[in-house]
Structure 1
Amino acid sequence: MAFEDVKAELGLLLTQMENEQQPEDRHEIYLVILRKLNELKAYGMPLPEDLVELERSLEKEFEAERKRKPDASA
């Protein structure tokens, strides 16, 4: 996939996020961003710093949620 295609897809994703006050599924957004960042890495392309920061922020948020929830297997 060409760099311009990846940029266009990320732009569309960000536009969708801006148009919705609360995304229905933050985890889905996280996975899409992670996948696109991995595509850019695979092609040796520069990573947009704002998306890298968003991915890190969501990852920390999910980790904190996971730690707060009681373990169902206990």
Structure 2
Amino acid sequence: MAFEAIKSQIETLLERMENQPEDKHELYLQLHEKLNEWRATGQPVPEDLLELEQALEAEFAEEEKA
């Protein structure tokens, strides 16, 4: 998949995360998948997206412990 298409899909996921916070876990999984596709293109992932991915991963790991 072209880099620009992946970037566009990530932007859409971020918008959905803002508008539908109840689906946050599902959207995180989709974001993680798209970031992996991005990584596969050889392009560096922007730092803010990496930080978001890590923060969401930590949040869900804490929820699983509870």
Residue 9 of structure 2: aligned partner: 9
Which TM-score applies when normalising by structure 2?
A: 0.85
The aligned counterpart of 1:52 is 50
Counterpart-to-counterpart distance in 1, 2:26 and 2:57? 12
Q: Distance in 2 between matches of 1:17 and 1:63?
A: 18
Seq. identity, %: 56
Residue in structure 1 matched with residue 63 of structure 2 by the alignment: 65
Q: Which has the larger radius of gyration?
A: 1
**Residue segments in structure 2 that go unaligned for 5+ positions in a row:** none
Structure 1: which 5+ runs fail to align? 69-74
Paired positions, count: 66
- What is the CA distance between 1:30 and its match in structure 2? 0.8
In 2, the alpha carbon distance for the partners of 1:11 and 1:53 equals: 15
Once the two structures are superposed, what CA deviation does each residue of 1:3-62 show, in whole Å capped at 9, x if it has no partner?
Answer: 1101111112222333x1x52221111111100110011111110221111111111111
**TM-score under structure 1 length normalisation:** 0.77
Report runs of 4+ in structure 1 exceeding 2 Å deviation: 15-18
- 1:41 aligned partner: 39
- Say if 1:16 and 1:26 are closer, same or farther in 2 by CA, change over 3 A: closer
- Alpha-carbon RMSD across the aligned residues, in angstroms, is 1.3
